[in-house]
C-alpha cells in the first residue's frame, strides 16, 4: 500500500521553494495532520533547525503542520508513529549516513511500505530507489552502506540533465555516468528531469509533471517515457 510522491527537485528556476508542487502536496498529505520532516541532507550545510523552518513556513499556508525529525528524542519511535513523512534534498551521502546512524533506515522502509504518505525531493527521492548509487552528490561523508529504501524496484537519478551538445568540458555527461553504473549494476535507472515526479500508489508507479523521463536499462538503448506513462513494470 505504498503512497509516495518522489520529485526530482524541490524548486524550479524562478519559483519559490516547492511552489510548483504545493497543490499536489496538499492533496497528498491532506488528512495527515502533522508531517515529520527529515532535514538530514542539509543542503549547502544549513542546520536542521533552519531547514525545518523553511519547510514549516512553506507548508503552513496549506494547513500542514511540520515537525523536524531531529526535534524528537527518539527518531525511530517518531517514524513509527508518523502520519506523513517528507525527506528534503541536499547531500545524499549525509542523508544516508544519518539515516543509518540513527537507525531510521529500516523503520522508515517499514513505515512507507505500510502506506504512510511520503514526499521526497532530490536526495529524499533518490533514497526511495534500490540504492543511492545514482546520486549526483559529492561523497562528503562515508555511509555504512549505499543500500536505500527500495520503495520502487529501480534506481532514480534526480535533477536529470541532458548532455550539453555545445560543451567543451571533458567531465562525464550524466548519461555516461549512468552507463558506467550499468557496467557493475543491473537495476534500471530513471532519469527524472526537474519538474517531474513519480507518483507511487499501492503497486502502481506513474510519471507526473510536464516532461518525459529518460529510462536506462542495462545493455539497452536509453528511451524516453512520456508524462503519465507507467513505470509499474520497470525492474
The catalytic site residues sit at: 122, 137, 159
CB of 111 to a second copy, least distance (A): 25
Cell of 139: 561523497
The smaller minimum CB distance to a second copy, of residues 111 and 137, is found at: 137
> Which helix (H) or strand (E) segment is 77 a member of?
helix 75-80
Smallest distance, Å, CB 137 to a second copy? Answer: 7
Q: Is 26 exposed, middle or buried (0-12, 13-18, 19+ CB in 10 A)?
A: middle
Least gap, CB of 207 to a second copy (angstroms): 19
Among positive and negative, which fits the CA dihedral 48, 71, 34, 207?
positive
Given the complex with a second copy, which of 96 and 152 has the nearer CB atom? 96
5 versus 36: smaller Cβ distance to a second copy: 5
- The nearest distance, CB 195 to a second copy, in angstroms, is 10
- For residues 36 and 123, which CB has a smaller minimum distance to a second copy in the complex? 123
Residue in the structure block whose three cell numbers are 533506515: 105
Start-to-end CA distance of the chain, whole Å, equals: 18
Q: Which is nearer to a second copy, 73 or 170 (CB)?
A: 170
Give the DSSP letter string of 115-170: T--EEEETHHHHTTSSBSTT--S---S--S-SB---SSSSEEETT-----TT----
202 binds a second copy (CB under 8 A): no
Shortest distance, position 143 Cβ to a second copy, whole Å:
9
DSSP-based helix, strand, coil % in the chain, nearest 5? 30, 20, 50
Place of cell 502520519: 83
Positions in 44-103 near a second copy (CB under 8 A) = 44-45, 90-91, 93-94
Binding residues for a second copy, rule CB under 8 A, total 45
Q: Which of 26, 34, 48, 185 binds a second copy (CB under 8 A)?
A: 185
Residues 11-40 that bind a second copy (CB under 8 A): 11-14
For the segment 124-183, give every residue that binds a second copy (CB under 8 A). 132-142, 145-146, 159, 161, 168-172, 176-183
Cα-Cα-Cα-Cα dihedral of 10, 95, 136, 57, to 10°?
A: 20
Residue ranges binding a second copy (CB under 8 A): 9-14, 42-45, 90-91, 93-94, 132-142, 145-146, 159, 161, 168-172, 176-185, 194
Amino acid at each position: 500500500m505504498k503512497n509516495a510522491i518522489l520529485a526530482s527537485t524541490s524548486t524550479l528556476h524562478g519559483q519559490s521553494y516547492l511552489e510548483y508542487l504545493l497543490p499536489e502536496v496538499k492533496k497528498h498529505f491532506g488528512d495527515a495532520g502533522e508531517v515529520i520532516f527529515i532535514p538530514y541532507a542539509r543542503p549547502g550545510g544549513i542546520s536542521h533547525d533552519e531547514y525545518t523552518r523553511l519547510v514549516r513556513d512553506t507548508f503552513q499556508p496549506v494547513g500542514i503542520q511540520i515537525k523536524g525529525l531531529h526535534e524528537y528524542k527518539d527518531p525511530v519511535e517518531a517514524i513509527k508513529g508518523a502520519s506523513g513523512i517528507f525527506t528534503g534534498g541536499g547531500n545524499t551521502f549525509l542523508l544516508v549516513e544519518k539515516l543509518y546512524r540513527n537507525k531510521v533506515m529500516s523503520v522508515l522502509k517499514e513505515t512507507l511500505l505500510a502506506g504512510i504518505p511520503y514526499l521526497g525531493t532530490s536526495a529524499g527521492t533518490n533514497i526511495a530507489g534500490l540504492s543511492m548509487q545514482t546520486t549526483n552528490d559529492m561523497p562528503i561523508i562515508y555511509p555504512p552502506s549505499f543500500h536505500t529504501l527500495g520503495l520502487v524496484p529501480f534506481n532514480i537519478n534526480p535533477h536529470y540533465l541532458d548532455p550539453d551538445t555545445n560543451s567543451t568540458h571533458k567531465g562525464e555527461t550524466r548519461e555516461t555516468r549512468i552507463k558506467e553504473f550499468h557496467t557493475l549494476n543491473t537495476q534500471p535507472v530513471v532519469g527524472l528531469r526537474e519538474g517531474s515526479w513519480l507518483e507511487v500508489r499501492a503497486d502502481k508507479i506513474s510519471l507526473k509533471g510536464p516532461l518525459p523521463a529518460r529510462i536506462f536499462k542495462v545493455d539497452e538503448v536509453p528511451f524516453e517515457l512520456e508524462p503519465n506513462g507507467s513505470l509499474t513494470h520497470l525492474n
